[in-house]
Amino acid sequence: MVHIRHAQARDIKFITDIYNEAICSTIATFDIRPKSLSEQIDWFNEHGPNNPVLVAEKKNIVVGWAALSKWSKRCAYKETAELSVYVKKEYQGKNIGKNLLKTIIQEGEKVGLHTIIALITEGNKKSIHLHESLGFSPIGVMREAGYKFGRRLDVYLMQKIYTSSPSKD
C-alpha cells in the first residue's frame, strides 16, 4: 500500500536521491548534473501553500514525489504551475506515478490553480497517455528544445485547465 502525503523538510534527501537518479539515467528531466542537497533545499523552500510538493511512501520509504512549481515569476502566471512527477526506478510501473499525478492534480485545484503545464520528453508515450487520461490536452511541441545523452530532444507540452477555479486578482 502506498501512502501519499505533503512533503516535509525531512523528505528532501529522498526527493533529491530520486531526482538525481532521473537526471543521471533518463531524459525525463533536462537537468544534466545531479543536484546537491543544498540546491534541493532551496527548491523545496520556493514551494509554498500554492505550489505543493507531495511524496509517496511505501513501508515508510519515500518511493516517489510530485510537485507543482511556479511556471514563471511573472505575476500574471500566478495561477499556472509546472508539473513534476518522479518515481524511484524499482517502483515504476506500479501505479505510484499515476496516484501521485491524480493527487497533485487535486491539490492544485484545492489551492486555486487555473492551469497545470506538463512537459514530456519525446518518446514517452505512456506518460502522454496517462496525462490525457487525467484531463490534460496537448498544446504543442518544442522541437529539439533539449540536448541530453548526445541527442536533440523534442518536448511535448500538455495542459490541464481547471474549469471550476475562479480568477484571483
Count how many Cα atoms sit within 13 Å of the Cα of residue 56 in the half-sphere of its side chain: 25
- How confident is the model over 34-57, as pLDDT tens digits? 999 999 999 999 998 899 999 999
Of 167 and 136, which is predicted with more confidence?
A: 136
In this structure, of 40-44, 56-60, 114-118, 160-164, the range with the lowest mean pLDDT score is 160-164
- Lookup result for grid cell 533536462: 30
The predicted pLDDT at position 87 comes to 97
Please determine, for residue 169, whether its predicted confidence score (pLDDT) is greater than 60. no
Question: What Rg do the C-alpha atoms of the chain give, in angstroms?
Answer: 15
Closest by Cα among 132, 135, 127, 130 to 155: 127
DSSP state of 104: H
The predicted pLDDT at position 168 comes to 56
Write the single-letter amino acid at 14.
Answer: F
Write the single-letter amino acid at 54.
Answer: L
Please determine, for residue 165, whether its predicted confidence score (pLDDT) is greater than 80. no
Count how many Cα atoms sit within 13 Å of the Cα of residue 113 in the half-sphere of its side chain: 27
Q: What is the DSSP string of 111-165?
A: TT--EEEEEEETT-HHHHHHHHHTT-EEEEEEEEEEEETTEEEEEEEEEEE-SSP
- Band of pLDDT at residue 163, cut at 50, 70 and 90: confident
Mean pLDDT of the region 10-25: 98
- How confident is the model over 131-154, as pLDDT tens digits? 999 999 999 999 999 999 999 999
The predicted pLDDT at position 166 comes to 55
Please determine, for residue 167, whether its predicted confidence score (pLDDT) is greater than 90. no
- How confident is the model over 61-104, as pLDDT tens digits? 999 999 999 999 999 999 999 999 999 999 999 999 999 999 99
Domains of the chain in start order, with CATH, are: 2-161 (3.40.630.30)
Contact 44, 107 (CB under 8 A): no
Buried b (16+ CB within 10 A) or exposed e, 110-127: ebbbbbbbbbbbbeeeeb
